[in-house]
């Protein structure tokens, strides 16, 4: 079956301030890539041009753009004989400085040790916030603690293990 011959791969570069440069391309053998006429990518509707057509075989039909969030990319690979193959790819962006291929730690960009650390840190900070800020109320203290935990987890994502 033709669909198994093609896959969407990705790379990205974290620019800072929750902004990424990212790129996708079609992976396959040289023989199979030569059979492609064009690839029509459907991005999230928030993009200025959400439907983009790429015809450059030399770049493996690479699309490069930038953004702040993840979403599912849909693609239609149009072969020279007119056959159309539908593909989909969940764009994943991490806080590493760059990724040259689709090698992502998890859907949140966190590895197992980071998830464990954050899972322990957030409740501790919420509990600490409750006691430290108990003069201003139980709910307010817990909210401050949770927010502190979330901010710490954002910083912690940048730490490599």
pLDDT at 70: 95
Instruction: Give the model confidence (pLDDT) of 87-138 as tens digits.
Output: 999 999 998 765 554 443 333 344 444 455 556 655 666 666 656 655 666 6
Cα-to-chain-centroid distance, residue 129? 32
Closest CA to 110 of 126, 132, 124, 92: 92
- Confidence (pLDDT) at 159: 45
pLDDT one-digit tens code per residue, 11-52? 999 999 999 999 999 999 999 999 999 999 999 999 999 999
Same domain, 124 and 60: no
Q: Is residue 104 part of a domain?
A: no
The pLDDT of residue 84 is above 80:
yes
Domain end point (choices 68, 99, 130): 99
Domain boundaries, position 76: 2-99
What three-state secondary structure class fits 61?
coil
87 within a domain of the structure (yes/no): yes
Residue 105 lies inside a defined structural domain of this protein: no
Say if residue 69 is exposed, middle or buried (CB neighbours under 10 Å; 0-12, 13-18, 19+).
exposed
CATH of residue 34's domain is: 2.60.40.1970
């Amino acid at each position: 079956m033709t669909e198994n011959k093609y896959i969407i791969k990705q790379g990205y570069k974290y620019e800072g301030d929750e902004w990424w440069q990212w790129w996708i391309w079609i992976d396959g053998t040289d023989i199979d890539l030569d059979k492609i006429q064009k690839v029509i990518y459907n991005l999230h509707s928030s993009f200025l041009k959400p439907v983009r057509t790429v015809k450059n075989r030399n770049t493996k039909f690479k699309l490069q753009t930038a953004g702040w969030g993840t979403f599912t990319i849909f693609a239609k690979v149009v072969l020279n004989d007119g056959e159309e193959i539908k593909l989909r790819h969940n764009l994943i962006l991490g806080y590493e400085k760059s990724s040259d291929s689709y090698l992502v730690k998890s859907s949140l960009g966190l590895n197992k040790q980071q998830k464990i650390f954050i899972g322990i840190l957030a409740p501790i900070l919420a509990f600490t916030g409750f006691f430290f800020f108990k003069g201003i109320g139980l709910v307010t203290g817990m909210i401050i603690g949770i927010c502190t935990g979330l901010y710490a987890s954002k910083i912690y994502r940048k730490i490599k293990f």
